[in-house]
Amino acid sequence: MNTHGLLGRVVVYLSAAVVAVPVSAFLGLGSVIGYLAAGMAIGPHGLGLISSVEDVMHFAEFGVVLLLFLIGLELNPRKLWQLRGPILGTGGLQVALTTAILAVALRGTGLSWNMAWLASMGFSLSSTAIALQLLRERNLMPTPAGQTSFSVLLFQDLAVIPMLAVVPFLGSAEASAGGDAPWISALKSVGAILAVVVVGRFLVRPVFRVIARTRLREMFTAFSLFLVVAIAALMQAVGLSMALGAFLAGVLLADSEYRHELEVDIEPFKGLLLGLFFISVGMSVNFDVLLARPLEIAGAVGAAVLLKAAVLLGVGRWTGLKGRECVVFGLALSQVGEFAFVLFGLGGQLGVFDAGTQAFLVLTVALSMLTTPFLFMADQKWIAPRFNRKGPTGIVPGSAASEPVQTKDGAVIIAGYGRFGQVVGRILHSRGVPTVFLDHDPNQIDLLRKFGQPAYYGDVRRLDLLHSAGAERARLLVLSVDDMETVFETARLVREHFPKLPMVARARGRVDAYRLVNLGIPVVRETFHSGLRAAELVLKELGLGAYEARRLVARFGAHDESRMRAAAALADDEKALISLAHEGRMELEKLMKGDEEQGRAATDDGWG
Amino acid sequence: MQAALLRAARQVSGLSIQSIYEAYPDCVIDVKAEQAALAEAEVLVLQHPFYWYSCPSLLKEWIDSVFEFGWAYAGGTALKGKYWMQAISAGGPAEAYRREGYNHFTIEELLRPFEQTAYLCGMIPLKPFLIQGARAQTEGSLLERAGEYALLLERLKEGRFPERHSSL
């Protein structure tokens, strides 16, 4: 097979992932190890199906960018500001301590100061991709350990920027990177960040609105991707971290009505690119170097992970993490991160390291990433049970207050905010029941948000939108979208994935109502009830008393509802339906005359 | 109060319970269905709060429409020989229901229209189950009364009826 063409390579990547990841997940190892193993197998040092790791890695770093964009989407500026303490304090302490201790230790092994500093800076960083993926897979993000990990990772992503700026000064060769004076590049950076803020705050939403109005899904996806890629490109152009720019853009859009739709659109790209990133880490494991100096490498990996974990445990304890929380925090960030590759790459170019040292360090980083999933497994097997017995110090997944989705527990989700859903929503609102609106019409969403109602743009048939609207914790779902096929599809989806979520649906006509009745969903026929009210008015105009007219209409309504239910059971049998209809008409005639022929009316009810 | 009694009643198996305010929120009663249920029964217990010395309006409407001319009376014998009982909670204390009290009449006197309804349909009125001073009940005493009610229903089911009621 020609694995040099683009298609050939794509086939190799995808097949390796499709084989290795499910196996790894099945063995309880999580997806990260699967991707890493796939990478090792197909890489230049494994089967050699792929030869150029660097290009892929560069491309796959985009997975990290998208990951940070998504993380940003879940954090609005207010929440970010609340996290400033952990980010600067805990993050700063961790990076400073790890760098200082490691630098001294590395100097002790005979490296020059410059080498020791650069190596230890790289080693102080952890892998956002691996740590967050692992924490998310285990639903530990909302716990204190998850939140602290996230804050520290965020600081590290920020810290990369000055670190990259320092590398040229550590090199023996004269700084060859860029000719700008420091103040010009600082100005550029500030300008770029300002541009992102202005664009994210004021320009993006109107554009999304226009695009949403076209109802072309793929345009929405295209624009979402364009947005992230463009910001990343801008950041790279001024020498800032792409991931950081994307994160910033995410934060700025966290409050927007398109948040859920953006999440839904970007998620698959993020997943695949992040997978590719892990594959490329796997591919960069150089078995030749490993075989040549196995003990040294193992020692270096062990020492790095151990030292990082030790510092993290200390810092974690200092911030007030207790017991198992602290262990999870220490383990989650114990690997060396992807930015180390970038730093060491630059260090190699600028002559801080010789090629041998660089290969050694890169291998150490890659192998340290491999250890984390196994450490997590070990934790779950041996460490977690000890804490669980103690109870309160154990972690309850998903229990923290900082859940990203704003849906309050016990909210009613109203899918479809037309004239119909509006009435339902207003009544619920008057009762103080929290509501969340979903609609595919940007104008409606816009209107709702002006009134301060939680409302999101998107297609309710998408499972992920329902998830992010909080369908697990909602009290009820009102299906009031115009398109009946959408109603049925959503109803089936909800039945399958949220079996405990009750639904109430609006049906356009009788046949739609049959289908909903057969699904066991309480149904309201849209025009039926207004028809009843009209009949009541007509009867009054014809001279019936208001009470009598209301009674007749109510009687008819109850009769028709019960016939409809009976007919629903026979919805596929035309003959049975016809005879049922005939029977129904006779019964109805009797019923409507009923009041007059018998009972009160027959003996003079005193009102006549 | 009524909810506690209803809960107690639901604990007793083998009763046919119809909560009319739940079944007929728009006040249109399914007469045929109610008559069919009555035909099956031996004892009719009307459980209700005492509103303005009578039953709540929907229960009156229920009687008005279900006890049809020619079915329940005037030649109709559908209810003949069945027992009639009311389970009533009244806000005022027992002392209020006497000449010297602020309600002036006894509960039995006030229930006379119901008593006569039973007579006209050939039914046998039983002594009512009364909770008076409903507003002054504590959670504990309420539970106690609900227990007594359940016991009474249990006995009715077994055919052990309380004494007949007559203010004649």
Question: For the segment A370-385, what is each residue's pLDDT rounded down to a tens digit?
Answer: 888 888 888 877 777 6
* Closest C-alpha to A460, from A432, A424, A429, A421: A421
* Closest C-alpha to B124, from B110, B132, B114, B134: B114
Return the pLDDT at A55.
75
Q: CA of B143 to nearest chain A CA: how many angstroms apart?
A: 31
CATH 1.20.1530.20, chain A: domain bounds: 6-25+53-174+182-389
Distant-in-sequence, close-in-space partners of A408: CB < 8 Å, separation ≥ 6: A434, A470
Range with the lowest mean pLDDT among A161-165, A225-229, A409-413, B69-73?
A161-165
Question: What integer is the mean pLDDT of A200-226?
Answer: 83
Residue A245: pLDDT band (50, 70, 90) is confident
Look at residue A101 and give its three-state secondary structure. helix
- Helix locations, A202-258, DSSP H: 204-214, 217-237, 242-253
Of A594, A600, A602, the CB nearest to B64: A600
Q: Which of B27, B28, B30, B31 to mutate to test the interface with A (most CBs of A within 10 A)?
A: B28
Q: What is the pLDDT of residues A465-505, one digit of tens each?
A: 888 788 888 999 999 998 888 899 899 889 888 888 999 99
Return the pLDDT at A544.
87
Q: Which amino acid is at A346?
A: L
Q: Which two tokens stand for residue B165?
A: 């009621």
Distant-in-sequence, close-in-space partners of A123: CB < 8 Å, separation ≥ 6: A98, A99, A102, A304, A308, A336, A340, A365
- Chain A CA closest to residue B30: A555
Return the pLDDT at A399.
31
Question: What integer is the mean pLDDT of A550-565?
Answer: 88
Of B27, B30, B68, the CB nearest to A599: B68
* Closest C-alpha to B2, from B52, B43, B61, B47: B47
Return the pLDDT at A232.
86
Return the pLDDT at A538.
95
Q: List per-block mean pLDDT (blocks of 10 residues) for chain B, which spans 168 residues.
A: 88 90 87 93 95 94 93 92 94 89 92 95 94 85 91 91 84
Interface contact B28-A594, CB threshold 8 A: no
Distant-in-sequence, close-in-space partners of A290: CB < 8 Å, separation ≥ 6: A297, A363, A367
Dihedral-angle region of residue A16 (phi above 0 means left; psi in -120 to 50 means alpha; beta otherwise): alpha
Return the pLDDT at A598.
47
* Closest C-alpha to A316, from A18, A76, A97: A97
Q: What is the pLDDT of residues A106-119, one digit of tens each?
A: 888 888 888 888 89
In whole angstroms, give the CA distance from residue A222 to residue A219.
5
8 A C-beta contact, residue B66 and residue B41: no
Q: Parallel, antiparallel, or unpaired for β B43-49 and A503-507?
A: unpaired
Residue A597: pLDDT band (50, 70, 90) is very low
How is domain A462-602 classified at the CATH fold level?
Rossmann fold (3.40.50)
Residues of B in contact with A554 (CB under 8 A): 26-28
- Chain A CA closest to residue B29: A555
Reply yes or no on whether the pLDDT at A313 is more than 50: yes
In the CATH hierarchy, which top-level class contains the domain A6-25+53-174+182-389? mainly alpha
Q: Rounded mean pLDDT of chain A?
A: 81
Distant-in-sequence, close-in-space partners of A178: CB < 8 Å, separation ≥ 6: A185, A239
Question: What integer is the mean pLDDT of A6-15?
Answer: 85
Q: What is the pLDDT of residues A278-306, one digit of tens each?
A: 888 788 777 888 888 888 889 999 999 99
Burial class (CB in 10 A: 0-12, 13-18, 19+), A129: buried
Neighbours of A541 (CB within 10 A): 9
Q: Which amino acid is at B128?
A: P
Q: Which of A551, A561, A588 to mutate to test the interface with B (most CBs of B within 10 A)?
A: A551
CATH 3.40.50.720, chain A: domain bounds: 462-602
Q: Which two tokens stand for residue A257?
A: 């009505």
Distant-in-sequence, close-in-space partners of A403: CB < 8 Å, separation ≥ 6: A142
In whole angstroms, give the CA distance from residue A41 to residue B98.
97
Q: What is the pLDDT of residues A121-156, one digit of tens each?
A: 999 999 887 888 788 777 787 778 888 898 899 888
For residue A414, how many C-alpha atoms fall within 13 Å in the half-sphere facing its CB? 26
A-contacting residues of B 40-69, CB under 8 Å? Answer: 64-65, 68-69
Q: Which domains does chain B have, with CATH numbers?
A: 2-14+30-158 (3.40.50.360)
Strand partners, A413: A436, A477
Buried b (16+ CB within 10 A) or exposed e, A16-47: bbeebbeebeeeebbbbbbbbbbbbbbbbbbe
Residues of B in contact with A558 (CB under 8 A): 28, 30
Distant-in-sequence, close-in-space partners of A497: CB < 8 Å, separation ≥ 6: A463, A466, A471
* Closest C-alpha to A58, from A310, A253, A232: A232
8 A C-beta contact, residue A517 and residue A504: no
Distant-in-sequence, close-in-space partners of A306: CB < 8 Å, separation ≥ 6: none
- Chain A CA closest to residue B69: A599
Residue A392: pLDDT band (50, 70, 90) is very low
Interface contact A554-B28, CB threshold 8 A: yes
Return the pLDDT at B110.
94
Interface contact A598-B69, CB threshold 8 A: yes
Q: CA of A599 to nearest chain B CA: how many angstroms apart?
A: 5
- B30 Cβ under 8 Å from any chain A Cβ: yes
Of A554, A600, A603, the CB nearest to B65: A600
Q: CA of A580 to nearest chain B CA: how many angstroms apart?
A: 20
- B26 Cβ under 8 Å from any chain A Cβ: yes
Residues of A in contact with B65 (CB under 8 A): 599-600
Q: What is the pLDDT of residues A424-465, one digit of tens each?
A: 988 998 888 888 888 887 777 777 877 777 888 888 888 878
- Chain A CA closest to residue B71: A599
Return the pLDDT at A180.
57
Q: What is the pLDDT of residues A510-536, one digit of tens each?
A: 888 888 888 889 999 988 989 999 999
Q: Which two tokens stand for residue A570?
A: 């026979």
Interface contact A599-B31, CB threshold 8 A: yes
The continuous run of DSSP H or E covering A411 comes out as none
Reply yes or no on whether the pLDDT at A173 is more than 50: no
Q: Which two tokens stand for residue A433?
A: 């029941």
Cα dihedral A389, A395, A399, A405 in deg (nearest 10): -150
Provide the percentage of residues in chain A whose pLDDT is more than 90.
13
Reply yes or no on whether the pLDDT at A316 is more than 60: yes
